[in-house]
Amino acid sequence: MDRLFQPFRMVGHTLRNRIAMAPMTRARTPDGVPDDLTALYYAQRATAGLLITEGTPISATAEGFLCIPGLYRADQVAGWRKVTDAVHDAGGVIFTQLWHVGRVSHVSNQPGGVAPVSSTARIARDSQAWGMTEDGVPGAVDVSRPRALSTDEVRGVIADFAQAAANAVAAGFDGVELHGANGYLIEQFLNPTVNDRTDAYRGDTLEGRTRFVLDAIDAVIARIGAERTAIRLSPYGGLFDMQPYPGIEETYLFLADEFSRRGLAYVHLMDQKSRGSVAIPPDFLGRFRAQYTGVLILAGGMTRNRAETLIAERLIDIAAFGEPFIANPDLVARLEQGWPLRPADRGLHYGGGARGYTDYPTYQQESA
């Protein structure tokens, strides 16, 4: 039952263990450029077999959260190079998560205050972004009504994903993970209760609703190679007004087969039960595992015991931990040694400086 801490061979990389740090928004870059503090934060956690960065917007219009680092400008590429160099110097492997929030945005997040874009013009009900409030300060704001992308504009967004992937490689990343989970743009195409299009990317057919994600994946592969390309998905998730639909299993098992054919670095599933949404049914996880032949990562409410059980049962290959990594930069050692986990101060998750970001001690520092 110690496979969690043993080296693991992923396409193109040998990971020091089967633990991944899941992507987490931290909102520490007011100018959108990673800096020395960002580099320190990720280097501190480089004992994870795989680091996956916070979501990185692929364009100015992809943003839905203030103070997050992007990957579409030269200064951002240079800033991320500091991060990847620091992680590689610490012996780590790091992928970045390419992000387009689609309709989960606010006009204050958009260049010139324009409407966010999506697969649809339907607003995400009961959903909030992190933008400028009416008082002129950062805070939670109701999302703005989106504008549906034209067919040509959809192709432009796909090109943005490919360019951001090339930028990631130029910044020294080992690969990229497309954010296809949690109600953001890719899932806005995948879910037919949201996608009301009538063009080739329409939501009422399996081929139509999966076309956007597959076209984006293929464009990224064409730029940087399949071994550097991965994706995150959240089957059965309900965040940001993602409603259930009869074809969920058909849709995601179809994608499992398509991703197997393409030889991706990995597929990363997000179980949203820990986020107050619906859990991935255990029987579905088994069917997805049988259909998808590559490396499979699972995140969401992960514990050591759950990770070891799922790996032993060959349902997953890598276990991803999110929030525990915030207050425990030495999470791998704490899990392996059975040391207690330090709780994070959730009031310091977003924004600010080093406090609640790079100042959490290791267990040995605590015990000194």
H or E segment and range at residue 73: none
Q: Which of 42, 184, 252, 360 is catalytic?
A: 184
Asked whether the beta carbons of 177 and 98 are under 8 A apart, the reply is yes
- Compute the distance between CA of residue 13 and CA of residue 321 in angstroms, rounded to an integer: 20
The sign of the CA dihedral 114, 156, 212, 237 is negative
Write out the two tokens for 113.
């205050």
Enclosing H/E stretch for 206 = helix 206-224
Write out the H or E segment, with its range, that includes residue 221.
helix 206-224
* CB-based contact 92:51 (threshold 8 Å): yes
Residue 250: strand, helix, or coil: helix
- Angle ∠(160,203,130) on CA atoms, nearest 5: 55
CA dihedral sign of residues 268, 271, 272, 275: negative
70-77: long-range pairs with CB below 8 Å, 24+: 70/32, 71/96, 71/98, 71/164, 71/167, 71/168, 71/171, 72/160, 72/163, 72/164, 72/167, 73/32, 73/33, 75/33, 76/32, 76/33, 76/34, 76/167, 76/171, 77/167, 77/170, 77/171
The total of other beta-carbon atoms located within 10 Å of residue 10's CB is 23
CA pseudo-torsion sign 223, 226, 230, 233: positive
Alpha-carbon span 228 to 10, nearest angstrom: 10
Q: Find out whether 63 and 53 touch, Cβ atoms under 8 Å.
A: no
Using alpha carbons, select from 101, 148, 157 the residue that is nearest to residue 128. Answer: 101
Question: Is 184 a residue of the active site?
Answer: yes
Q: Which are the catalytic amino acids?
A: 184
